[in-house]
Amino acid sequence: MSIPTPPSAPTPVTPGVELQIVGPTDLGAKIVKHLAEKHVGEQEEETLRPLDASKLTITRSAKTSKLPEDLKFVWGATFTDHMLIIHHSPTEGWLDPQIVPYGPLQLDPASACLHYAPALFEGMKAYRTDKPDSKPLLFRPDMNMARMKRSAARVRLPDFDGDELIKLIKKLIEVDQHMIPPPPHALYIRPTIPFFPTKPAAPAPALPIPNGESIAYTNGSSAEPSSSDEITYSAQFSPIALLATTSATRSWPGGVGEFKLAGNYAPCFAPQQKALAKGYQQNLWCLEGRISEAGQMNMFCVLKKGEGEVEVTTPRLDGTILPGVTRDSVLALLRAHAANSSGSDKLEAIPSDWKLTVSERDIELSELVTEARAGNLLEVFGTGTAAILCPVNRIGLEDGSPDLTTPSFSGGLGPVARGVYEKISSIQQGDVPGHQWTVECL
Ligand SMILES: *Cc1c(COP(=O)(O)O)cnc(C)c1O
């Protein structure tokens, strides 16, 4: 685009640099030039390259790792041989995706992600079925992509086509399929977008943070459901204890608790350390007297309502709750069971004479105290991709009154948690062929 040359040619305006007010003529010219450049910038934004999985290049690693024979993994310590990297440039858009050997990234010390945390992540798993020749499966990856795009928009990281990213993640799983352990283990996959400059003098981006590039990468680590140690669906679970925490909070109205942003997690470390020191594993986050989440998991309570009547409830999505894929799936399975408890939707472990209602609502901590003291708190469990389902058998209160407890169950899971766990893990591991929630990788 041609820019009108003013009579007294001004010094060029560097994009992104504040306009200097020198004199009336200069100022007019500079504003014209600035607006022209801004216009060019906007046009460029529209023509930035979209994420394109067909441009993938693969550089194979020299090593092919083996899974440990005893299938014992330290969480986050066994990584796949490869990782997927896609650079994003503010002037060009998404560059060609690459699968490369797993290894460290180089960061400029001025990287925005180190200072302001424009960074997000997702957590998903690739499952291997125990049938011969079966393909690795992903569980509802479209939900992860939709959430990832919402997180990106909230901190002005670049948008991308979720279907293209799924294609690339499938490719990574194909390349590293020897790293998917058998059920009930799975390969944990962590798509991440941090924003950082890969070259110190990168051109100014269309973002209100310092010069930089974004990079999306995903790597996998072999994982197991955190508390199961048997390779069957009737795994043993060790219930955890929560400390109801009101002196610190994970999220708040108008905040970003509903996004999977990197910045949401470090502020939970010190409160969790305090809970650990008092003999609890996780915080039960509370907000204005209401319960919120159990550590980094969504929280479910099972309440006895009357003879044979049971309510399963979880806090509603009011902006302070992370909308978990597992939470959504658990609600759907419970609602299907409640609507049709004789057909294939039946959750076997739940007694057939229970009349189940399923709700998403505000749950006051005081209500939980009253119900637990009256013996009506039947089960509490957390849900999330990593653990799938984690039973809670004790909740500590900050006022020092006795801990709330739930009944104990053999194997660690109450009937509702067990019914849901058996169903969800059988879907995830491909025992329900063609289920709409499972997506084949190859
Ligand atoms: C990731 C996460 C969850 C669980 O979400 P899933 O999609 O089920 O894995 C719950 N709470 C928080 C705070 C999380 O970060």
Q: What is the mean pLDDT of each run of 10 residues along the chain (442 residues)?
A: 38 36 43 44 65 97 86 74 90 91 84 86 89 87 97 92 96 91 85 77 44 70 46 65 96 97 97 97 96 98 95 98 98 96 89 96 98 98 94 96 96 96 93 92 86
Contact assessment for residue 417 and residue 391, using Cβ atoms and an 8 Å cutoff: yes
Mutate to test the pocket of ligand 1, among 282, 296, 390, 437 (most ligand atoms within 8 A of CB): 296
The Cα-based distances of 167 to 58, 61, 125, 275 in angstroms read: 14, 20, 15, 41
C-beta neighbour count of 72 within 10 angstroms: 11
Handedness of CA 210, 216, 221, 227 (dihedral sign): positive
Distance 406 CA to ligand 1 centre (A): 23
**What integer pLDDT is reported at residue 71 of this predicted model?**
76
Closest Cα to atom 15, ligand 1: which residue?
A: 296
Question: Can you tell me which residue has the tokens 């011969």?
Answer: 132
**What integer pLDDT is reported at residue 59 of this predicted model?**
97
Alpha-carbon distance of 260 to 157, in angstroms, equals: 13
Distance 130 CA to ligand 1 centre (A): 27
Q: Taking CB atoms and a 6 Å cutoff, what residues make up the pocket around ligand 1?
A: 123, 260, 293, 296-298, 322, 324-327, 383-385
**What integer pLDDT is reported at residue 417 of this predicted model?**
97
Question: Can you tell me which residue has the tokens 């660690």?
Answer: 412
Predicted TM-score (pTM) of the model is 0.86
**What integer pLDDT is reported at residue 258 of this predicted model?**
98
**What integer pLDDT is reported at residue 181 of this predicted model?**
85
Mutate to test the pocket of ligand 1, among 299, 322, 437 (most ligand atoms within 8 A of CB): 322
Q: Burial level of 124, CB count in 10 A (0-12/13-18/19+)?
A: buried
Distance 396 CA to ligand 1 centre (A): 22
**What integer pLDDT is reported at residue 5 of this predicted model?**
38
Question: Can you tell me which residue has the tokens 């062929």?
Answer: 433
Alpha-carbon distance of 217 to 202, in angstroms, equals: 20
Contact assessment for residue 182 and residue 71, using Cβ atoms and an 8 Å cutoff: yes
Distance 322 CA to ligand 1 centre (A): 6
**What integer pLDDT is reported at residue 234 of this predicted model?**
41
Q: How far is CA 12 from the centre of its chain?
A: 45
The Cα-based distances of 82 to 60, 122, 327 in angstroms read: 8, 18, 30
Nearest-atom number in ligand 1 for the CA of 328 is 8
C-beta neighbour count of 145 within 10 angstroms: 21
Handedness of CA 95, 97, 99, 105 (dihedral sign): positive
Q: How far is CA 100 from the centre of its chain?
A: 23
The Cα-based distances of 395 to 67, 249, 327, 383, 412 in angstroms read: 37, 17, 20, 16, 16
The Cα-based distances of 354 to 139, 342, 404, 416 in angstroms read: 29, 12, 24, 10
Distance 340 CA to ligand 1 centre (A): 28
**What integer pLDDT is reported at residue 89 of this predicted model?**
84
Mutate to test the pocket of ligand 1, among 226, 297, 328 (most ligand atoms within 8 A of CB): 297
Residue 27 token pair: 């100022």
**What integer pLDDT is reported at residue 38 of this predicted model?**
43
Cis peptide before 191 (omega within 30 of 0): no
